[in-house]
Amino acid sequence: GAGVSQSPSNKVTEKGKDVELRCDPISGHTALYWYRQSLGQGLEFLIYFQGNSAPDKSGLPSDRFSAERTGGSVSTLTIQRTQQEDSAVYLCASSLGHYRTDTQYFGPGTRLTVL
Amino acid sequence: ILNVEQSPQSLHVQEGDSTNFTCSFPSSNFYALHWYRWETAKSPEALFVMTLNGDEKKKGRISATLNTKEGYSYLYIKGSQPEDSATYLCASPETSGSRLTFGEGTQLTVNP
């Protein structure tokens, strides 16, 4: 079946502009995660959605970052007033449930470059 | 926040060599350990989810072991091939939920 998809695959923007990154999880997966990898860094958690529960936003680095998940499916990560330090690969993952043993399936990522 | 560490940071081997690398994690409140392979320009691919002390899992030429008492896992690749070239990541879920804390990865290059 279809895996996790993300769009766009690459995004180049100017400092100060807003960007939206999209994630389509695997159908039927109730949990959705956003991570990012900045240059020279490991994968870093950003935000997590589980069903109808309030999202875990504890990894968002600033209030310029927000995310929503509509209808329990598609998610959009929005970065307002982008800064050069926001340049990274943004990865989305989904899992069937929210247990710590559930495999998280990743999309191919969006490479964001802020000039 | 958990501290998950991987070593070495990078590794170059010849085709046909067997190799292994390490993931260390806090042994207290252990719940699970996830291994992923991430090839350039592709999605990270799940390899294993390990939960039990002494667990050993295998997928083709790749296997992994787990020691929860001392807080480490080894990933082994037997007879490395150029297509094994990738970054291998381990991750552990936080005690407060299922979000993963990743190590920085081991970048493996297999030379033909």
Q: Does the pLDDT at position B1 exceed 70?
A: no
d(CA B99, CA A45): 7
List chain B residues with CB under 8 Å of A33: 99-100
Residues B11-55: tens digit of each pLDDT: 999 999 999 999 999 988 889 999 999 998 899 999 999 999 999
User: Is A90 an interface residue toward B (CB < 8 Å)?
Assistant: no
Cα three-residue angle B68-A29-A61, rounded to 5 degrees: 70
Q: Which pLDDT band holds residue B97 (cuts at 50, 70, 90)?
A: confident
Is B63:B55 a contact under the CB 8 Å cutoff?
A: no
The verdict on a CB contact (< 8 Å) between B34 and A4 is: no
Give chain B positions within 8 Å (CB) of A91: 43-44
Closest CA to B87 of B63, B105, B110, B62: B105
- The 10s digit of each residue's pLDDT in B69-79 is 999 999 999 99
Residue A1 has what pLDDT?
59
Task: For A78-88, write each residue's pLDDT tens digit.
Answer: 999 999 999 99
Q: What is the pLDDT of residue B11?
A: 96
The amino acid present at A39, given as its one-letter code, is L
Tens digits of residue pLDDT in A23-58: 999 999 999 999 999 988 889 999 999 988 889 999
Q: Which residue of B has its CA nearest to A3?
A: B43
Residues of A in contact with B46 (CB under 8 A): 103-105
